[in-house]
């Protein structure tokens, strides 16, 4: 796999470098157009800055949200271009299309060391098409805008999309610094991690994490389960879960996992149960085996935080993916905060597995530097840990 350092060593002065970034940032629901977490923009800055400093003409491409293969103002990258320029400390030219007249003129107008951002890749059906010919045609149009390609979008490497896997066969392709760092970290987790090795999983659904649980269970010393997914496990133990999130079809699977993971899997012993999914709903802490039938669990309780923290205290390797509760609502953020703070105190290698976990760290004001690594690719990280081949990485290795 060729790297960004290899490319810069070859010389990029005056060359058009197409950088696939993951700028799929969240926006403030109450203030459309206002970015609520710019972590993914910050993550690509080192690669873009290195190319700028080397005199490249940097053309950044990314997706945002899930538009249906056509322009949709709700998913424009225009606000991202503004924030990108602020963080970069230099103007970022914005093209109002991806491979059309605006993109071509914007790229043609770039000076050495300048940066442009093209409009949302998913405004073109070719980006995500299942038809290789349609996807390939779009990749051809993207490739015509540049001389070389750098993939620095780890959050997208598990997608067989035109800008991720197809384009790497059309231009000289290199891995950006972010992708290389992510792979280095995940190899540590899948190779021979220092023990004790503790994994913390949260989020809403067991089904979303089943494959990674299956892959990691034989390798870990402890698996701590919180978030909405814990209620399906509690149901598998025969407990009442009230109106809590429940995947009834996964109960038998969870029961089997608990049997195979006896002594390894730890569940909450108390939860914060509320009358409704709302910040102002009446709520109280109850035993995990005595959730009232008319309430739903929205966070792990304080005793669970203590027990999870104890399990983490002696760990040498930690991987955390998924919040412990609905951290976006203040009354139900204590579990996620408590576990996150316990991880920051671990004297070992700690990894935050991207997605909502990374968002929680920033939203709760926890020092990011206290973690060994914060991934930018939740889904990609999980698929790597599951042992899957990731199309974006395969393309770079070809």
> Is 356 annotated among the ligand-binding residues?
yes
Known catalytic residue at 109? no
The string of DSSP codes covering 122-139 is GGSTTTT-S-HHHHHHHH
> Is 328 annotated among the ligand-binding residues?
yes
CA angle 364, 368, 371 (to 5 degrees): 115
Three-state SS at 62: coil
Query: Helices (DSSP H) in the chain: which residue ranges?
Result: 4-10, 39-53, 78-88, 101-108, 132-143, 177-190, 206-216, 230-236, 251-260, 302-313, 334-344, 355-363, 378-386, 391-397
Do the Cβ atoms of 254 and 214 come closer than 8 Å?
no
Q: From the candidates 16, 40, 295, 337, which is the catalytic residue? A: 40
> Is 135 annotated among the ligand-binding residues?
no
> Is 221 annotated among the ligand-binding residues?
no
- Among 171, 179, 143, 174, residue whose Cα is nearest residue 9: 174
> Is 64 annotated among the ligand-binding residues?
yes
> Is 239 annotated among the ligand-binding residues?
no
> Is 355 annotated among the ligand-binding residues?
yes
> Is 297 annotated among the ligand-binding residues?
yes
Q: From the candidates 39, 85, 177, 379, which is the catalytic residue? A: 379
All residues at 6 or more sequence positions from 355 whose CB lies less than 8 Å from its CB, including other chains? 203, 321, 322, 378, 379
> Is 159 annotated among the ligand-binding residues?
yes
Q: From the candidates 195, 205, 255, 316, which is the catalytic residue? A: 205
> Is 207 annotated among the ligand-binding residues?
no
- Among 70, 58, 74, 63, residue whose Cα is nearest residue 23: 63
> Is 357 annotated among the ligand-binding residues?
yes
> Is 373 annotated among the ligand-binding residues?
no
Do the Cβ atoms of 13 and 111 come closer than 8 Å?
no
Known catalytic residue at 40? yes
Three-state SS at 245: coil
Alpha carbons 350 and 239: distance in angstroms, whole number: 32
Q: From the candidates 355, 377, 378, 392, which is the catalytic residue? A: 355
Known catalytic residue at 355? yes
> Is 31 annotated among the ligand-binding residues?
no
Beta-bridged to residue 60, according to DSSP, are 19, 117
> Is 321 annotated among the ligand-binding residues?
no
> Is 24 annotated among the ligand-binding residues?
yes
> Is 124 annotated among the ligand-binding residues?
no
Known catalytic residue at 203? no
Do the Cβ atoms of 217 and 257 come closer than 8 Å?
yes
Binding residues for (2R)-3-phosphoglycerate: 40, 122, 159
Binding residues: 22-24, 40, 63-66, 122, 159, 209, 297, 328, 354-357
**Would you please indicate which residues are annotated as catalytic (active-site) residues?**
40, 205, 355, 379
Binding residues for substrate: 22-24, 40, 63-66, 122, 159
Binding residues for ATP: 209, 297, 328, 354-357
């Amino acid at each position: 796999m060729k790297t960004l350092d290899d490319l810069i060593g070859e010389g990029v002065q005056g060359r058009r470098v197409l950088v696939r970034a993951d700028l799929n940032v969240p926006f403030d629901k109450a203030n459309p157009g206002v970015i609520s977490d710019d972590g993914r923009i910050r993550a690509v800055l080192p690669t873009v800055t290195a190319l700028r400093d080397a005199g490249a003409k940097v053309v950044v491409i990314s997706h945002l949200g899930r538009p249906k293969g056509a322009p949709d103002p709700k998913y424009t990258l225009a606000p991202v271009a503004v924030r990108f320029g602020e963080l970069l400390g230099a103007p970022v030219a914005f093209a109002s299309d991806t491979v059309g007249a605006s993109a071509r003129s914007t790229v043609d107008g770039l000076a050495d060391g300048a940066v442009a951002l093209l409009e949302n890749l998913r405004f073109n059906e070719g980006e995500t098409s299942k038809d290789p010919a349609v996807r390939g045609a779009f990749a051809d149009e993207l490739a015509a805008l540049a001389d070389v390609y750098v993939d620095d979008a780890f959050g997208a490497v598990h997608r067989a999309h035109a800008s991720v896997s197809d384009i790497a066969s059309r231009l000289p392709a290199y891995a950006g610094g972010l992708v290389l760092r992510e792979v280095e970290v995940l190899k540590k987790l899948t190779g021979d991690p220092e023990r004790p090795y503790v994994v913390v999983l949260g989020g809403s659904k067991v089904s979303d994490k089943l494959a990674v649980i299956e892959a990691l269970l034989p390798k870990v010393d402890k698996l701590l389960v919180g978030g909405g997914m814990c209620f399906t496990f509690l149901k598998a133990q025969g407990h009442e879960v009230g109106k809590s999130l429940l995947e009834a079809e996964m109960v038998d699977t969870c029961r089997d996992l608990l049997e195979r993971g006896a002594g390894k899997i730890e569940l909450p012993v108390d939860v914060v149960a509320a009358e409704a999914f709302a910040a102002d709903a009446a709520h109280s802490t109850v035993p995990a085996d005595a959730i009232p039938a008319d309430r739903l669990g929205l966070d792990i309780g304080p005793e669970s935080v203590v027990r999870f923290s104890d399990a983490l205290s002696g760990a040498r390797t930690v991987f955390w993916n998924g919040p412990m509760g609905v951290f976006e609502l203040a009354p139900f953020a204590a579990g996620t905060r408590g576990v996150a703070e316990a991880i920051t105190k671990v004297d070992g290698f700690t990894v935050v597995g991207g997605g909502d976990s990374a968002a929680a760290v920033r939203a709760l004001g926890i020092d990011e530097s206290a973690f060994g690594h914060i991934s930018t690719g939740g889904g990609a990280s999980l698929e790597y840990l599951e042992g899957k081949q990731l199309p974006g990485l395969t393309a770079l290795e070809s």
